[in-house]
Amino acid sequence: MPPKSRTYDAARIRAAVTAQFGHVAEAVRGLGPEELARPSGLGHWTVADLAGHIAWVADSLAGSLARPPGVVAELPAVEWPFATASLAGKISQAARETLTGAPLPELFEQAATRMSEALADSPGDRVLNLWIGDMTLADFLVTRTVELVVHTDDLNRAAGLEVPIERHALAAATRLLADALAVKAPGGAVEVRVPPFAVVQCVEGPRHTRGTPPNVVETDPLTWIRLATGRTEWAEALDEAQVRASGERADLSGLLPLMR
């Protein structure tokens, strides 16, 4: 089971989101036309489309803060992964409409400035009026770590880059998606370990309390994030020894991905 109320260090999350966006912006400035035209591995998107979407992630955060605040937060961060699928097309369209015309480096510079200015005076308990459901800024920033870590990894693989991933961003993304698994499949029969950031129990069945759990899944943070977001298939990760699974209940293939 996930913690009843996992807390995140708000200052570190803000810093991680800003820093991760900065890492991507710096990398994008060095991409040439040939690299930008490569397939991203995400449907019909090119690397340029993927980079533009990452710029939109920051720009849309600033746009959310520019709107009048909501009244009551309806969506906690841990439920955000399950609410994204129905909005994928709308988000993609909004990104295309927002990020047209200007060169990518300029778009990243504008988005970084807008995001920095918007965050400077915004408290974490401010309620954002979002398509996906009203969320506090603090919770929404945790979801931004997932977006930025996932798409940084996408960009690295598609363009052959080595954009660094901020440790606090990776930790928050790992924990949020691990907790989401425990929400999707509540129980205590399987222990999922993603060292050094997360351990959760999930799946209905006998609950483990002492000693070595009979059903254990263990993997590294980036593999876990790829599994949870559909970048890597369960069988592929097992075959390549990226996941260690022991016990008759330790097959998570029917529960993954959590989001796409």
Residue 143 Cα distances to 75, 86, 90, 98, 206, angstroms? 11, 16, 18, 21, 32
Residue 224 Cα distances to 10, 66, 194, angstroms? 23, 34, 7
d(CA 91, CA 57): 10
Same domain membership, residue 176 and residue 162: no
Cis peptide before 196 (omega within 30 of 0): yes
The whole-number pLDDT of residue 5 equals 72
The whole-number pLDDT of residue 1 equals 45
What digits encode the pLDDT tens for the residues 145-155?
999 999 999 99
Same domain membership, residue 212 and residue 124: no
Is residue 259 a part of any domain in this protein? no
Q: Which domain holds residue 113?
A: 10-169
What digits encode the pLDDT tens for the residues 220-237?
999 999 999 999 999 999
Is residue 70 a part of any domain in this protein? yes
Q: What is the percentage of the chain residues whose pLDDT exceeds 70?
A: 91
Same domain membership, residue 25 and residue 153: yes
What digits encode the pLDDT tens for the residues 67-118?
999 999 999 999 999 998 777 667 666 666 666 668 999 999 999 999 999 9
Give the three-state DSSP class for 194.
strand
What digits encode the pLDDT tens for the residues 149-195?
999 999 999 999 999 999 999 999 999 999 999 999 999 999 999 99
Q: How many domains does the chain have?
A: 2
The whole-number pLDDT of residue 88 equals 67
- Unique residue bearing structure tokens 């660094």: 164
Same domain membership, residue 182 and residue 154: no
Structure tokens at 206: 């006998």
Is residue 254 a part of any domain in this protein? no
Residue 212: pLDDT over 90: no
d(CA 83, CA 75): 9
Is residue 182 a part of any domain in this protein? yes
Q: Tell which of 134, 149, 169 closes a domain.
A: 169
Is residue 255 a part of any domain in this protein? no
Is residue 152 a part of any domain in this protein? yes
The whole-number pLDDT of residue 138 equals 97
Residue 255 φ then ψ, to 5°? -105, -10
Q: Tell which of 134, 169, 204 closes a domain.
A: 169
Structure tokens at 156: 């690295």
The whole-number pLDDT of residue 206 equals 73
Give 249 or 210, the one with higher predicted confidence.
249
Q: What is the pTM of this model?
A: 0.94
Q: Tell which of 120, 145, 169 closes a domain.
A: 169
Same domain membership, residue 153 and residue 236: no
Residue 210: pLDDT over 60: yes
Same domain membership, residue 121 and residue 205: no
Same domain membership, residue 43 and residue 131: yes
Is residue 252 a part of any domain in this protein? no
The region of weakest confidence among 32-41, 93-102, 133-142, 201-210 is 93-102
Is residue 4 a part of any domain in this protein? no
Same domain membership, residue 138 and residue 37: yes
Residue 127: pLDDT over 60: yes
| CA geometry: angle 30, 31, 36, nearest 5 deg | 165
Same domain membership, residue 151 and residue 23: yes
Residue 59: pLDDT over 70: yes
Residue 2: pLDDT over 50: no
Give the three-state DSSP class for 151.
helix
Same domain membership, residue 42 and residue 128: yes
pLDDT interval class at 61 (50, 70, 90): very high
Same domain membership, residue 16 and residue 131: yes
Q: What is the percentage of the chain residues whose pLDDT exceeds 90?
A: 83
d(CA 59, CA 124): 18
The whole-number pLDDT of residue 214 equals 86
Same domain membership, residue 61 and residue 122: yes
> Which CATH number is 110's domain given?
1.20.120.450
d(CA 79, CA 220): 22
The whole-number pLDDT of residue 209 equals 62
The whole-number pLDDT of residue 102 equals 81
